[in-house]
Amino acid sequence: MSCLSPSATLATTVLSRGLTDSNVLPLAASTNLPSINSFVRDTFCAARFVHSSRLSRSVIFSLRCIFGQLSSHDAISATCQNISVPSDQASNYPTTCLLAIASVHRTGSTLLCSILRATHMAGMPMEYLNIHTKNFTNFRNENNLPKLNMRGAVIGAVRKVTGRNAWRNIDYFSDSSWRAYLNRAASLNTTRNGVFGIKMHFNQYDEHMLQRGIDASFWNAPIKWVRITRDNEVRQAISLVRAEQSNQWNSNMSAVREPVYDENAIVVALETISTANKNWDAYFATQAITPLLVTYEQLTRDMDATVRRIMSHINTPIDKVPEPQTKRQSDGASAQWEQQFLHSRPEFASRAATI
């Protein structure tokens, strides 16, 4: 009897016989590949690519089942950010101020950033650290940055052959080209007043900057932090669940399916929100940073005053606040979900402050 784990057995079998052997696919299908280490997963991909360049439909289907879908919120919202920056509005100005927006999902940060971009004076803030967006894909196609390392190239080739989009992972890009990407993003998106704006959730900031030995000081400019939160976290969690189910992350997107009330999913979303807020709390406390605080409720109640506060924060007062490019998504269905949730889970009432 073999003493090897299922993942190790899979790797050994793949290396010795390749995936053309009918004994391998059943083993692969029964192995929880997303939870095994990266080496085994990459070995599986590389061996498949080497042993056969022509994949049958059954093999493609099996590989798709094995690799599955990315589970992070960033991956799920892969179509959320697809805005191209007009070159005549922001291009190759030196960065003299960084507008860093610390956000959590469903706090109105997309709405806020759409207004800030429309000012053409706030550095075109978007999720430049989110590698799962159309905007990131377009940027790579146009600038050839960041570049894949050898590991990323192999994985990318296999997924291309199997008809899948690239399974993006920050470790698939070389460190030097990732830094070049960050510099290029600032170069192309700094507005004429010297401001570069970036919106980031903590997981993006942590995984794609902090863990790579860099932080917001990377751009060598004074940093103006803005933190956006939401008072009604129950409604925030409901918004997150509905967006995940419908894949409608802003008002410019069409829903792919109607969301269905799910109490457990709302509880999980509340925990996700709590963790994200605690992470930002800890970071700001450790770094002795006092960000400008903005809430979703302030933004939706008085958009003009909220935007003016932020523009003053970056020393760029404006005469007129432009209209947002997206609309508020909250509706009657969210209110009904909130009422139903609080009826069955009254212990969360304290996290449901109303506007």
3-state helix, strand, coil split of the chain in percent (to 5) is 55, 10, 40
Residue 317 structure tokens: 């007062």
Question: Helix or strand or coil: residue 193?
Answer: coil
- Greatest alpha-carbon pair distance for the chain in Å reads 77
Count the neighbouring beta carbons within 10 Å of the beta carbon of residue 194.
17
pTM: predicted TM-score of the whole model, two decimal places: 0.76
- Name the phi and psi angles at 93, rounded to 5: -90, 145
Q: What is the pLDDT of residue 34?
A: 42
Greater pLDDT, 74 or 330: 330
Under DSSP, the state recorded for 96 is -
- Residue-wise pLDDT for 270-291, tens only, equals 999 999 999 999 999 999 999 9
Q: What is the pLDDT of residue 202?
A: 98
Answer yes or no: are the C-beta atoms of 307 and 116 closer than 8 Å.
Answer: yes
Distance CA 139, CA 294 (A): 30
23 has pLDDT over 90? no
- Residue-wise pLDDT for 134-153, tens only, equals 899 999 999 999 999 999 99
Under DSSP, the state recorded for 41 is H
Q: Please identify which residue in the block is written with the tokens 């990377």.
A: 218
- What mean pLDDT comes out for the span 166-195? 94
Q: How confident is the model at residue 17 (pLDDT cuts 50, 70, 90)?
A: very low
List the domains of the chain with CATH numbers. 6-68 (no CATH), 74-148+172-351 (3.40.50.300)
91 has pLDDT over 60? yes
Least confident of 102-106, 160-164, 286-290: 160-164
- What mean pLDDT comes out for the span 215-229? 99
Q: How confident is the model at residue 168 (pLDDT cuts 50, 70, 90)?
A: confident
- What mean pLDDT comes out for the span 252-257? 59
336 has pLDDT over 60? yes
